[in-house]
Amino acid sequence: MVIQFILSIVLLMTLGSDLEINGDFVEAGAAYQEANDSSGEVRILSRFLEEALYAGQNRHAYDLILILEYYQLEAGYYEYWYARLAWSCGLSEFACSCLDSLNADQWLKSRASGLAAQFRGNAELAVQNYRESWTFARTSRERYYSALDLSFALLQTGDYSEAEMITSFLAENFPGEGMPLIALGLIHYEQNRFGPAMIVLQSVFTGETYTATARTFAGMLLEDLE
């Protein structure tokens, strides 16, 4: 019986990992929960939270932060997420102050520095910070966030070529992620390539493999950019 129990847990954890890699995040979260794999649960919840913050879905982001507060995370993560939420709510000075003073590991701290630079309109400095955060990343998921952050900063600096290369790579190698394609659509739009921009955004808006958060965000952009 003990062996059967251990095998069932291992299989569920493996199932969760496979589902996560394939972009089926809801099912992955359910598998991690059933296996009592808290690290897997945190990774999925954090992924949904990051997407909500990118999309400006403040209420959804706040609810996810409250859920994540039940877990014991490394220093700085809650403060980082609340700072991003504060910016979305119009508390720009408070957000930047929190990001500047963030006590966290090198990856998250350099990421926070990049975000503070972006909030202050210094996209060139943000690019430097995000490149640094990528070097400090310990996992493929951390490298994903650093690269996605970098692509938005490059978009602000007008370095469309590198931004497009990064977002295309992320879209191809991270199934189920709509944000790289949304960034790619914005890159097309900024270069007056309106047709490709709308096609890419439409693919997210109507794509069944993407989350409701990504589809809603893509739909809002389609309306705004028409």
Tens of pLDDT, residues 43-58: 999 999 999 999 999 9
Kindly tell me if the per-residue pLDDT of 2 is higher than 60: no
158-206, pLDDT tens digit by residue?
Answer: 999 999 999 999 999 999 999 999 999 999 999 999 999 999 999 999 9
81 and 146 together in one domain: yes
Does residue 163 lie within any of the structural domains?
Answer: yes
Which pLDDT value is given to residue 75? 83
Please give the full DSSP string across 169-180, using - where no structure is assigned: HHHHHSTT--HH
pLDDT value of position 84: 97
18 — pLDDT class (breaks 50, 70, 90) = confident
Task: Supply φ then ψ for residue 206, to 5 degrees.
Answer: -105, 0
User: Do residues 22 and 40 both lie within one domain?
Assistant: yes
Which residue has better confidence, 10 or 207?
207
pLDDT at 5 over 90: no
- 26-35, 68-77, 199-208: which has the highest mean pLDDT? 199-208
Say if 135 falls within a structural domain: yes
Which residue carries 């965000």 as its tokens? 217
- What mean pLDDT is predicted for residues 16-34? 86
Instruction: Show the CA angle centred on residue 51, arms to residues 206 and 195, nearest 5°.
Output: 40
5 or 51, greater pLDDT: 51
CA distance 39 to 139: 13
CB proximity list for 7: less than 8 A, separation 6 or greater? none
Residue-range definition of the domain harbouring residue 122: 74-150
Contact 148, 170 (CB under 8 A): yes
- Does 135 lie in the same domain as 80? yes
Residues 47, 102: one domain?
no
- Which whole-number Å values give the CA distances from 75 to 49, 72, 135, in the listed order? 17, 9, 20
* pLDDT at residue 8, rounded to an integer: 41
Q: Are residues 42 and 83 in the same domain?
A: no
What pLDDT, on a 0 to 100 scale, did the predictor assign at position 15? Answer: 66
Residue 102 and residue 34 share a domain: no
Same domain assignment for residues 169 and 146? no
What is the reported pLDDT for 22?
A: 86
Nearest by Cα to 80 from 58, 56, 111, 36: 111
* Total number of domains constituting the chain: 3
User: What's the first-to-final CA gap in the chain, in angstroms?
Assistant: 61
CA R_g for the chain: 18
Cβ neighbours of residue 107 closer than 8 Å, sequence gap 6 or more: 133, 136, 137, 138, 142, 146
- Tracing tokens 């590991």 back to the chain, one arrives at 105
Is residue 48 a part of any domain in this protein?
yes
Least confident of 19-33, 103-117, 184-198: 19-33
In a domain, 63, yes or no: no
pLDDT surpassing 90 at residue 35? no
pLDDT in the model for residue 180: 97
pLDDT of residue 6: 38
C-alpha–C-alpha distance, residues 216 and 10, integer Å: 35
d(CA 39, CA 33): 10
Residues 216 and 192 in one domain: yes
Backbone torsions φ then ψ of 24, nearest 5 degrees: -95, 80
The model carries a pTM of 0.90
